[in-house]
Amino acid sequence: MSAAIIDTAHGDGDVVSLTFDDGPNPADTPALLDVLRRHDVTAVFCLQGDQAEQHPELVRRIAAAGHTLCNHGMHHDDMSSWTPEQIAADLRETSAAIRRALPGARIPYFRAPYGAWGGSPAVAEALGMRPLGWRLAVADWETPGTGELVRRLRAGITPGAVVLLHDGGGDRSQTVDAVDLVIASLKARRWRFTQPRPDWPQAPA
Ligand SMILES: [Zn+2]
């Protein structure tokens, strides 16, 4: 199996995939879900296992709204120096935490915390998850202001990009507001919001 890291949105032309890391987060995830529903956009949510354990109802809301789930590790550790066995244990624990919230949840992707991939892509593939990277990050963790985030997104989004954003790990209200504005402006220019490149092959976990 290939362990190539996916960073491309599905489809041709002006397509983009939005991905949100480090949640679920009761302060900002519900507002983000409202924004995405209002614009009829589905995204990928890279869930942190300990957050999923604390907020199982949000895991269920995310999936029920049609978004795709992604395993982002149990405690947001840097796994780059870990053995495959250590990585596999963390990834399994994370998927189990998500599935305690939502039995049978489909989790087609894994994203390494900090993008510190180390040996994790091959481990994720062996567990039936495709490594999900990104082409654009706008450092929304800096909370530079909604207007600046909008500027960075408009300047940086290119056709086919997977975009990294955050709904957890701090106050993400600027991200939520910026996403609302940017989706509106891209949709006005007939961009489409798609999932990352097809997530096959999927092996049983
Ligand atoms: Zn993260």
Ligand 1: centre distance to CA 164 (Å) = 9
Checking if the pLDDT of 201 tops 70, the result is no
pLDDT at 165: 98
Greater model confidence, 117 or 1: 117
Tell me the C-alpha distance between 196 and 160, whole Å: 9
Each residue's pLDDT tens digit, 9-39: 999 999 999 999 999 999 999 999 999 999 9
Active-site residue, selected from the candidate residues 140, 166, 167, 177: 166
pLDDT at 3: 72
Ligand 1: centre distance to CA 127 (Å) = 20
Give the distance, in angstroms, between the CA of residue 100 and the centroid of all CA atoms in the same chain: 19
Is the distance from CB of 110 to CB of 129 less than 8 angstroms?
yes
pLDDT at 200: 53
- The question of whether 171 is a catalytic residue gets the answer no
- Average pLDDT score over residue span 139-145: 97
Is residue 137 classed as helix, strand or coil in its secondary structure? strand
Ligand 1: centre distance to CA 82 (Å) = 17
Ligand 1: centre distance to CA 117 (Å) = 12
Tell me the C-alpha distance between 7 and 129, whole Å: 14
Checking if the pLDDT of 61 tops 50, the result is yes
Domain boundaries, the chain: 15-193
Each residue's pLDDT tens digit, 83-141: 999 999 999 999 999 999 999 999 999 999 999 999 999 999 999 999 999 999 999 99
Q: Which CATH class is domain 15-193?
A: alpha beta
Ligand 1: centre distance to CA 133 (Å) = 11
pLDDT at 107: 97
- The question of whether 72 is a catalytic residue gets the answer no
Active-site residue, selected from the candidate residues 7, 21, 90, 167: 21
pLDDT at 2: 56
Tell me the C-alpha distance between 72 and 109, whole Å: 9
Ligand 1: centre distance to CA 21 (Å) = 5
Ligand 1: centre distance to CA 120 (Å) = 14
Greater model confidence, 3 or 42: 42
Checking if the pLDDT of 203 tops 50, the result is no
The token duo for 108 is 């087609």
pLDDT at 199: 57
Each residue's pLDDT tens digit, 147-197: 999 999 999 999 999 999 999 999 999 999 999 999 999 999 999 999 998
